[in-house]
């Protein structure tokens, strides 16, 4: 069963915008607040669908991140990204490292997407929960599904409880990238860059 993202309200990838000498923080905050709501709704739809990737790729590996499992199920963070960039682009991200940890992503298209998501880097990392080792099992167990679901419930509580502080932090981070902030003000999110086209 494939996991698909709710793309309602998603913006278009970035295109060049007219030069703007000064950023309007209040306007940028409003844009990011709207983005945050869209991304949050995608996360909740993913959580409530209870279809999570099966971590059965390596024996004895304990908890590991799985971007895309053998059945085509995307992880939570990948699902959020696919709502903007599409499934094909998101799958190509995982082809570079199917155990990609967004905690380690500091630059590049995915880092730029995080900056235009309305969530902080810390919040995106919290959403990307590793799965327990399910080696030799072909389906996710009810216990593992429930474990992940309850973690996602806690993540939602954190996202809502610290919404104002996190949104301010997201604005601060984006303002350090003026060109990206200007694109956001023109309703353009970060571009997938090299991930937009298949390699070769």
The model's pLDDT over 137-192, given as tens digits with 9 standing for 90+, comes to 556 788 889 999 999 999 999 999 999 999 999 999 999 999 999 999 999 999 99
Residue 12 has pLDDT above 70, yes or no: no
Average pLDDT for 43-71: 84
Which neighbouring-strand residues pair with 64?
131
End-to-end Cα distance, the chain? 29
Number of domains in the chain: 1
Q: Is residue 3 assigned to a domain?
A: no
Average pLDDT for 69-88: 96
pLDDT band per the 50, 70, 90 thresholds, residue 76: very high
Half-sphere exposure of residue 21: CA atoms within 13 angstroms, side-chain side: 0
Residue 8 has pLDDT above 80, yes or no: no
pTM for this prediction: 0.84
| Contact residues for 38 (Cβ-Cβ < 8 A; gap 6+) | 8, 9, 10, 83, 118
Q: Is residue 199 assigned to a domain?
A: no
Q: Is residue 140 assigned to a domain?
A: yes
Closest CA to 174 of 10, 19, 29, 16: 29
Average pLDDT for 106-135: 91
Q: Is residue 6 assigned to a domain?
A: no
Q: Is residue 96 assigned to a domain?
A: yes
Write out the two tokens for 54. Answer: 């099966």
Q: Per residue in 17-52, pLDDT tens?
A: 444 458 999 999 999 999 999 999 999 999 999 999
Q: Is residue 185 assigned to a domain?
A: yes
Q: What is the pLDDT of residue 2?
A: 37
Percent above pLDDT 90 for the chain: 72
pLDDT band per the 50, 70, 90 thresholds, residue 54: confident
Q: In whole angstroms, what is the distance from residue 15 CA to residue 196 CA?
A: 13
Q: What is the pLDDT of residue 110?
A: 98
pLDDT band per the 50, 70, 90 thresholds, residue 5: very low
Q: In whole angstroms, what is the distance from residue 141 CA to residue 150 CA?
A: 14
* Inter-residue contact 172 to 66 (CB < 8 Å): no
Q: Is residue 98 assigned to a domain?
A: yes
Write out the two tokens for 155. Answer: 């993540």
More confident residue, 134 or 46: 46
Q: Is residue 70 assigned to a domain?
A: yes
Crossing angle of helices 25-49 and 76-85, in 10° steps, is: 120
Q: What is the pLDDT of residue 60?
A: 52
Range of the domain at 116: 23-192
Q: What is the DSSP letter of 133?
A: P
Q: What is the pLDDT of residue 105?
A: 97
Q: What is the pLDDT of residue 7?
A: 37
């Amino acid at each position: 069963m494939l996991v698909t993202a709710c793309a309602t309200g998603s913006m278009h990838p970035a295109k060049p915008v007219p030069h703007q000498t000064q950023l309007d923080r209040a306007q940028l905050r409003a844009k990011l607040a709207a983005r945050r709501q869209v991304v949050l709704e995608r996360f909740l739809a993913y959580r409530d669908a209870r279809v999570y990737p099966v971590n059965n790729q390596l024996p004895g590996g304990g908890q590991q991140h799985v971007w895309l499992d053998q059945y085509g199920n995307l992880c939570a963070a990948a699902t959020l990204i696919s709502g903007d960039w599409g499934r094909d682009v998101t799958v190509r991200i995982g082809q570079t490292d199917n155990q990609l940890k967004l905690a380690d992503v500091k630059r590049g298209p995915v880092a730029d997407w995080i900056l235009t998501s309305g969530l902080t880097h810390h919040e995106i990392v919290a959403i990307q929960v590793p799965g327990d080792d399910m080696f030799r099992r072909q389906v996710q167990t009810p216990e593992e599904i429930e474990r992940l679901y309850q973690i996602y419930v806690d993540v939602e509580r954190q996202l809502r409880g610290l919404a104002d502080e996190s949104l301010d932090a997201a604005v601060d981070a984006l303002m350090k990238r003026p060109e990206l902030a200007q694109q956001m003000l023109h309703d353009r999110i970060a571009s997938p860059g090299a991930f937009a086209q298949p390699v070769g």
